[in-house]
């Protein structure tokens, strides 16, 4: 006898309609796998990585020597970014950092490039904005924090616009932009996931945008598997916990994750590393089928049409693009980041210009 949790969630017709997202997700997974080892593909691309490294080094040197100008805003700037390609957990980190700073008496604002944003000028992100206009991550940050969030490719222009509109802001948290040297910064936090620096090669032979030797103030490691932290200075674990799910078609309706135990559950994620989301759900005791979508998947077409599932669990980043859907099976699962108190202390001491111990 087939139990509800063991029956196929994706029917044959649905599998064919989901083929393009699956193929895209599989390609990303394959590339990520190649970047974790120094195999044939990595070595074939290795000469190109030296060219990329030379270009990156020249750019850093240009700003360091003053050949290119770096602008300092009138308030301190914290950059939360990564040295690798792909999602590592920056958005939950930014949300948690905004909350920590606010609890200490600061009035933070947030800057973001806004992936896929289509704007004519620096723009503040309204909680009711369209994700295709401002980007899914800035919209999620605005909704979760209530802080002013501004989007524009030039972080300097975006920061000036933010401060002009919100002069009470006394610190800016930059979502991504570790390599955006045109904006001077006071604190740099690099976020890694369980893949760390991969095979240690720069693009395109590996996942690194810059060498691991690049200076930064702190490292956060987002590893759901709980492995030993790397022996890097000022490195802490980024702890993400899943909160109660809320129904996308009825946001006031919430359910704890054990509610979905024993049901036919499809977990889908259009984030940089969907397996982290799936692993966290399995860690919560759920048996799931999975659908890995490309990062920043726009949900212009519904990949869940005809899915024979009792519940479909997605990330909040994906949910901001599905709020008009009427499918009561789709639930968003929030991820809450817990920051180590020593990291928060380091950030505050640097903002105050005091030496850290």
- 86 is an annotated ligand-binding site residue: yes
- 66 is an annotated ligand-binding site residue: no
User: What value does the CA radius of gyration of the chain take, rounded to a whole number of Å?
Assistant: 21
- 14 is an annotated ligand-binding site residue: no
Pair type for strands 149-151 and 123-124? antiparallel
Q: How far apart are CA 221 and CA 217, in angstroms?
A: 14
Q: How far apart are CA 163 and CA 49, in angstroms?
A: 39
Q: How far apart are CA 55 and CA 49, in angstroms?
A: 10
CA nearest to 257, candidates 338, 333, 336, 144 = 333
The sign of the CA dihedral 74, 76, 81, 83 is positive
Q: How far apart are CA 180 and CA 77, in angstroms?
A: 12
- 158 is an annotated ligand-binding site residue: no
Q: How far apart are CA 339 and CA 335, in angstroms?
A: 13
- 20 is an annotated ligand-binding site residue: no
Q: How far apart are CA 201 and CA 211, in angstroms?
A: 8
Is residue 204 reached through a cis peptide bond, with omega within 30 degrees of 0 on the bond before it? Answer: yes
Pair type for strands 235-237 and 218-222? parallel
- 321 is an annotated ligand-binding site residue: no
Q: How far apart are CA 200 and CA 198, in angstroms?
A: 5
- 252 is an annotated ligand-binding site residue: no
- 347 is an annotated ligand-binding site residue: no
Binding-site sequence positions for ATP: 84-91
Binding-site sequence positions: 84-91
């Amino acid at each position: 006898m087939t139990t509800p949790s063991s029956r196929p969630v994706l029917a044959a017709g649905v599998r064919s309609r989901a083929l393009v997202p699956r193929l895209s997700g599989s390609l990303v997974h394959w590339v990520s796998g190649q970047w974790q080892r120094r195999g044939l593909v990595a070595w074939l691309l290795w000469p190109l990585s030296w060219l990329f490294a030379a270009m990156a080094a020249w750019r850093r040197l240009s700003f360091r020597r003053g050949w290119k100008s770096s602008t300092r805003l009138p308030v301190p700037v914290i950059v939360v970014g990564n040295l690798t390609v792909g999602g590592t957990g920056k958005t939950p980190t930014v949300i948690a950092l905004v909350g920590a700073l606010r609890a200490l008496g600061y009035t933070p604002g947030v800057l973001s490039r806004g992936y896929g944003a289509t704007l004519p000028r620096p723009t503040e992100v309204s909680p009711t904005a369209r994700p295709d206009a401002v980007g899914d991550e800035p919209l999620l940050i605005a909704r979760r924090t209530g802080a002013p969030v501004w989007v524009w490719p030039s972080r300097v222009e975006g920061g000036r616009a933010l401060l002009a509109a919100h002069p009470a802001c006394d610190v800016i948290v930059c979502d991504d932009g570790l390599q955006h040297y045109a904006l001077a910064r006071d604190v740099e936090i690099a976020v890694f996931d369980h893949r760390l620096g991969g095979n240690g090669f720069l693009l395109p032979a590996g996942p690194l945008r810059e060498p691991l030797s690049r200076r930064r103030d702190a490292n956060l490691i987002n590893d759901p598997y709980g492995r030993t932290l790397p022996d890097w200075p000022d490195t802490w674990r980024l702890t993400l916990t899943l909160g109660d799910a809320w129904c996308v078609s009825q946001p006031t309706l919430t359910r704890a994750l054990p509610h979905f135990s024993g049901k036919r559950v499809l977990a889908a994620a259009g984030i940089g590393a969907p397996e982290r989301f799936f692993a966290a759900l399995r860690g919560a005791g759920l048996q799931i089928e999975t659908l890995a979508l490309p990062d920043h998947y726009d949900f212009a077409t519904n990949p869940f049409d005809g899915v024979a599932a009792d519940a479909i669990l997605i990330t909040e980043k994906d949910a901001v693009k599905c709020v008009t859907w009427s499918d009561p099976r789709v639930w968003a699962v929030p991820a809450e980041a817990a920051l180590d108190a020593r990291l928060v202390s380091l950030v505050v001491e640097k903002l105050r210009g005091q030496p850290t111990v």
